[in-house]
Structure 1
Amino acid sequence: MTNSGEDDDRNGQNRDSQNGEADSVDKRQQAAKDMLDDLIEQSGAESTGEEYEIVDALAEGTEDSPVEITESGLKLNLSFGDEDEYSDVAPEEVSEAELAALAAVEAELNLRWPETKLEPSLDRIEMLMDLLGNPERTFDVIQVAGTNGKSSTARMIDSLLRGFHRRVGLVTSPHLQRVTERIGIDGKPIHPRDYVRIWEEIKPYVEMVDKASEAEGGPAMSKFEVLVGISYAAFADAPIDVAVVEVGMGGTWDATNVVNADIAVIMPIGLDHTDYLGETLTEIAGEKAGIIKARPESDDFAEPQENIAIIAEQDEEAMEVVLQRTVDVDAGVARAGSEFAAVESRIAVGGQQVNIQGLGGMYEDIFIPLHGEHQARNAAVALAAVEAFFGASSGHPLDIANVRNSFAQTISPGRLERVRTSPTTFIDAAHNPHGAIALGKALDRDFDFARLIGVVGVLGDKDELGILQALEPFLSEVVITQNTSPRALDAYELAETARDVFGEERVYVADDLPAAYAQAVELAEDAEIQSGSGIVITGSVVTAGEARAMFGKEPA
């Protein structure tokens, strides 16, 4: 959950206040309760209610409660065994106590600046890294920026690197169901126990940064900055060989950019987050190109002498800005359509078969278990990034068997993910017009639905008109709804916009996602349509995450 109102921002700034008024404790109590209930519900676990009651620190007998709320924050009263034993991948089962601990940490972090708020400075994250002994310098980095395709491409890069026997850390955002999805080690989310442990370890240093920043009139660390700190500390703790890091928002001032990436990947750039990144493609491209940096000087002649930028297909305006950045910092360049490309994509059961012209040569008959030509292009970018990382050159391709096996094992939850077969139902996290167009084209190319019903819920700070206009040519009807985020656009307000785009007769509205899906199923099973109906749930990462939980999908 994300707190985004002015009250949340104010609470985040004053969390160490000495006042200790009851209303502050009440807010923490409610936040902890809400987060706990949400996580336990998503896990499918059962709770007695009393066992995980969140109590006031002033009450007696709190030592047996997993969470104690004090005037200065939340205190965990949980024991997970030997704290020095590092479990770097999540097992299939996570206990209710571990979820309760995770919920408490999330409630605490949600009192900070939300992720949707960006302050143009790396000072706080740099200070934290210094205090922690610079964990971000203990591994190589492939960083991924852009407007769309970042998560899927990052996951492909992760899979390829692991296929070549590297221990890999993966940072993605936002998460669909559980915050631990954001930090991957060895291809699996970090265990909630380790997430909580690492937070407790770095928390004193985070508070030192908070105090230093606030003393100079600045803000405390944001939630996203803290998450980056947890990620990089976890990677150093594991340890890993290389991190694949998806940028949160923008590039230049994104907290992930405290690293100096060996390989900087720039995915297609479009208009998004214009309040923070700029209102023109040129401005936004400039922000995203900020992850391309000069390589630090080194006396080791075995070290590469330059960082490399891998650039996906771009509008001419954006490409000009990105290329100028590579010139300014003396970075190497490989461009989609020039140095590498997806040259062929054929529909296959469960995905597609692609041929990719890489930096080192031609890679043929690669199966990718993801739908849409945009994923074939993403695969070409991912392969080029890994080739560049390993120093592949013309005539010296990577081992084709490893490449094929790695791509075949790639997953990208919430990206045209099939969750039901009758009626065929997909979930997709498209949350801007560019993503919605890619979704529509993928459904149109890879499937032959006689009738396709959309279930759409959008956040209030997104381009809802653009999203609906992009989807309209591909949908027979649309069921408008809203997710549970406080940022969600009201379903009935969104429905008014949908009627302007689709017409009155093609628009339905439901108060929540389960009701909306039930309405879509009823439409898909209409007796007048003999067969070939499908449903796609989309419009927001939050909507996609709640849909995954609704279908009983595990966080991944």
Structure 2
Amino acid sequence: MTENFPPLSEHGRAAATFAEAEDALLSRWPETRLEPSLDRIAAFAELLGDPQRSYRVIHLTGTNGKTSTSRMIDSLLRAQELRTGRFTSPHVEKMSERISIDGEPLDDEAFVRAFNDVAPYTHLVDADQPHPLSFFETIVGMAFAAFADAPVDVAVIEVGMGGSWDATNIADGDVAVVLPVGLDHAQYLGDTVDAIATEKAGIIKPGSRLVLAEQSPEAAAVLLARAAEVGATVAREGVEFGVVGRSPAVGGQTVSLQGLHGRYDDLFLPLYGAHQAQNAAVALAAVEAFGGDEPLSDDLVREAFARVDSPGRLEVVRRSPTVVLDAAHNPAGAAATAASLVESFAFSPLIGVIGVMGDKDVEGVLAAFEPEMTHLIATRNSTPRSLPAAQLGEMAREIFGEDRVTVVESLADAIDLAATLAEDGQAYGDSIGSGGVLVTGSVVTVGEAREMLKGRDVMRTDLKGNDR
């Protein structure tokens, strides 16, 4: 990928540093500006030599759980000594998290190299198409090319949004994985479950294997019809595979899973919640479907699940008081997070810090958290898309009541106040030291909180003045 470059132009300039590569990518159309076409990414990939055709692919879509499931699939594949590429989005803290090889995100040097390998071709596509390449299309091209250069044996690819018109869909998945489909991104994908399912069904390719998480009847009908249309072989959660049993454990949970070709009992999964157990069952079925007709080694499965992590998904980042980060940003995700907190943590009081994007179902998210949160601190993250804290506070008071909501503009100060309230549990009639803090509402909010909290020993002192 590094030979015979066309001459560089201002639009296809090389980057000397990570910051320069990041700036060049962010100068393109944002992920929220969509024009439904695969023409640009297909033209881009063709100029790059169609790298997505040089390895096998497991392709994932769905409303919630894609990133965690992708990470579990990646771990199971690497346990079989396969070299993996993984593309996920959005990132939590750093853009390079989106492209991983052998389970590790590209370091700064590798990310710059990946950008420079494709940059000379971006302006050629821009000049030839009615619209320029977007940020997302460009980073998808980077990932596909980096995986080919590595080279990897298999790429685990998470869609950015939807399926049919997502830039990742120029790759043909040997296995298509559809996590639960619900209402999200309605302004882009449609305002009914069957409309959204129709869009997501586009990743199911002729002759592939479809691994289908538990779905609503409306979504299942659409997805199964697509599978029948293209001759895909179907494996359904709750029928061909699923969770047999689970129980909370220190640092996560113990799960027993029925796979497509075998049963795997008493596996330790260092992630919290029934939804993560279901994600594990889906990941196991996807890897079994990818590999053929033989069960996986019990030791291999046990080792792979034990080493899984998923940053920003019910992630404990502090103790005394405990601070948990979770990227739930729609009602279904918020409900799963709330249930998991009750099961695994039992905080009393639980202080919520929420910053959401303005285009989300904010009322639905707030309603899902209301029964479990003692007090809510409405705040915002640093992006223009973030709902203003005062507006979020107004909406929250309609659901939580006047006395259970505080508005704090700065995310850092909001976390600081939440920690104080959680520690001083007696203010809510609870014992000191039993409280916890949940920071949630958006991947961006969680990423900014994670960066603030990382490496800090005295949270309330160190957070002062660090408003993003």
TM-score range with shorter-chain normalisation?
A: over 0.9
From 379, 395, 413, the equivalent of 1:481 is 379
Task: Tell me if the contact between 1:432 and 1:466 (Cα under 8 Å) persists in the aligned partners.
Answer: yes
Answering whether residue 164 of structure 2 is matched by residue 252 of structure 1, we say yes
Q: What's the % identity of the aligned pairs?
A: 52
* AA at the equivalent of 1:268: P
Could you say which residue in structure 2 is the equivalent of 1:547?
449
Residues 136-535 of structure 1: pairs in structure 2 closer than 5 A? 136-213=52-129, 218-294=130-206, 306-392=207-293, 396-526=294-424, 528=426, 529-530=430-431, 531-535=433-437
Q: Tell me how far apart the structure 1 counterparts of residues 327 and 42 of structure 2 sit (CA, whole Å).
A: 31
Does the CA contact (< 8 Å) of 1:170 and 1:243 recur in 2? yes
Letter paired with 1:380: A
CA distance in 1, matches of 2:180, 2:137: 25
Distance verdict in 2 for CA 1:138–1:443, change over 3 Å: same
Distance 1:238 1:177 in 2: 24
- Whether the aligned pair in 1 keeps the contact of 2:227 and 2:233 (CA below 8 Å) is yes
The Cα shift of 1:527 comes to: 5.5
Aligned letter for 2:370?
E
Deviation at 1:73, TM superposition (A): 5.3
Alignment of 1:48-127 (within 5 A): 72=10, 78=16, 101-127=17-43
One-letter amino acid of the counterpart of residue 282, structure 2: V
**2:118–2:142 Cα contact (<8 Å) kept:** yes
- Secondary structure in 2 matching 1:550: helix
Pairwise CA distance, 1:102: 1.4
Partner of 1:97: none
Q: In the TM superposition, what is the alpha-carbon distance from 1:252 to its structure 2 partner?
A: 0.3
How many residue pairs get aligned? The number is 445
Query: Do 2:273 and 2:343's aligned partners in 1 also have CA atoms closer than 8 Å?
Result: yes
- Cα distance in 2 for residues equivalent to 1:515 and 1:349: 30
Whether contact under 8 Å (1:169, 1:240) holds in the other structure is yes
Specify the SS of the correspondent of 2:157.
strand
Task: Tell me the CA shift for residue 445 of structure 1.
Answer: 1.1
What is the alpha-carbon distance in structure 2 between the residues aligned to residue 489 and residue 475 of structure 1? Answer: 20
- How far apart are residue 120 of structure 1 and its match? 1.2
Measure how far apart 1:75 and its partner are: 5.4
- Where do 5+ consecutive residues of structure 1 fail to align? 1-69, 79-100, 295-305
Cα pair 2:15 2:112 within 8 Å, conserved? no
Q: Tell me which residue corresponds to 1:8.
A: none
CA distance 1:74–1:290, change in 2 (3 Å): closer
Offset at residue 136 of structure 1 (A):
0.4
Give 2:465's aligned residue. none
CA 1:77 to 1:418, structure 2 compared with 1: closer, same or farther past 3 Å?
Answer: closer
2-side partners of 1:551 and 1:449: how far apart? 20
- 1:344/1:506 Cα in 2 relative to 1: closer, same or farther (>3 Å)? same
User: What amino acid is aligned across from residue 247 of structure 1 in structure 2?
Assistant: V
Deviation at 1:72, TM superposition (A): 3.6
CA contact (8 A) 1:74 1:104 kept: no
Alpha-carbon distance between aligned partners in 1 of 2:329 and 2:280, rounded to the nearest angstrom = 21
CA separation in 2, counterparts of 1:147 and 1:370? 19
Please give the alpha-carbon distance, in whole angstroms, between the structure 2 residues aligned to 1:366 and 1:316. 30
- Partner Cα distance (1:117, 1:553) in 2: 35
What is the alpha-carbon root mean square deviation over aligned residues?
Answer: 1.5
The alpha-carbon deviation at position 201 of structure 1 amounts to: 2.0
In the alignment, structure 2 segments of 5+ residues that lack a partner are 1-7, 457-468
State the 1:198 CA deviation.
2.1
Structure 1: 4+ residue segments shifted above 6 A: none
CA offsets 1:290-345 (integer angstroms, 9 cap, x no match): 00011xxxxxxxxxxx3100000000000000000000000000000000011111
- Given that 2:377 and 2:406 are in contact with CA atoms closer than 8 Å, whether structure 1 keeps it comes out as yes
What does the per-residue CA deviation read over 1:369-425, in whole Å, with 9 as the maximum and x for residues that have no partner?
000000000000000000001113xxx421000000000000100000000111011
Distance 1:271 1:128, change over 3 A: same
Classify the secondary structure of the residue corresponding to 1:116.
Answer: coil
Cα contact 2:14–2:116 (8 A) shared by 1: no
Q: Could you say what secondary structure the match of 1:473 adopts?
A: coil
- The one-letter code sitting in structure 2 at the alignment partner of 1:416 is L
Contact 1:360 / 1:397 at 8 angstroms: preserved in 2? yes
Amino acid at match of 2:302: R
Please give the TM-score of this superposition, normalised by the length of structure 1: 0.78
Give how far 1:74 is off.
Answer: 8.6
Deviations 1:228-279 (A, max 9, x none): 0000000001110000000000000000011010000000001111111111
Q: Which amino acid aligns with 1:402?
A: L
Structure 1 residue identity aligned to 2:450:
R
Q: Tell me which amino acid in the other structure corresponds to 1:168.
A: T
